[in-house]
Amino acid sequence: MKTDEVPQDEARTYGGQKKLMYAVREDGEYTGVKSAGWEVETYATVRAVEELDRLRDDAVARAKAGATSPLEAHMYVRRMDVATLAAVTGIWEWRVKRHFRPSVFAGLSTALLERYAQALDIDVAALKRAPE
């Protein structure tokens, strides 16, 4: 890639930042060049973020309707999935999934609720409510 080929497509995903790329100058020498973004990369990032947002909105709606526990919604609000939440809390995946059932969640011990709350960085009272 030549220095004048380093893409400068203002990417919303960079939050106004520029990334460092390595590119070749006219005289053949490598140099660092700041890039404001590449449309191709932005498309992939935005798709991934949109998918996370979709999962979040879907879980929040289901939690509000009582179809899943608030835990699942809070998990997606924190951009986690079951595997990540299980790894962070040290609770088996099948157990985490079981705790998505509102009836099971309602009976969780304070100790378990605190583990989840800590992993999600919210307090227990907030964990028991569906997120906005």
Which of 1, 61, 124, 126: binder of another protein (CB under 8 A)? 1
Q: Is residue 16 within the footprint of another protein (CB under 8 A)?
A: yes
Which of 36, 104 has the CB closer to another protein? 36
Indicate left, alpha or beta for 46 from its phi (over 0: left) and psi (-120 to 50: alpha).
alpha
In the stretch 50-69, what mask flags binding to another protein with x, by CB under 8 A? -x------------------
Name the one range near another protein by CB under 8 A: 24-32, 56-64, 101-109, 124-132.
Answer: 24-32
Which of 88, 104 has the CB closer to another protein? 88
Q: How far apart are CA 6 and CA 40, in angstroms?
A: 12
Q: Is residue 73 within the footprint of another protein (CB under 8 A)?
A: no
Q: Judge contact between 113 and 129, C-beta under 8 A.
A: no
Q: CA angle, 43 as apex, 40 and 49 as ends, to 5°?
A: 145
How many residues does this entry show for the chain?
132
Which of 8, 66 has the CB closer to another protein? 8
- Residue at token pair 């520029």: 18
Residues paired with 34 in a beta bridge: 20
Q: How far apart are CA 91 and CA 76, in angstroms?
A: 17
Helices (H) and strands (E) in the chain, counts: 7, 2
Which of 4, 9, 43, 95: binder of another protein (CB under 8 A)? 43
User: Which residues contact another protein (rule: CB under 8 A)?
Assistant: 1, 6, 12-24, 28-30, 32, 34, 38, 40-41, 43-49, 51, 78-81, 83-84, 87-90, 119, 121
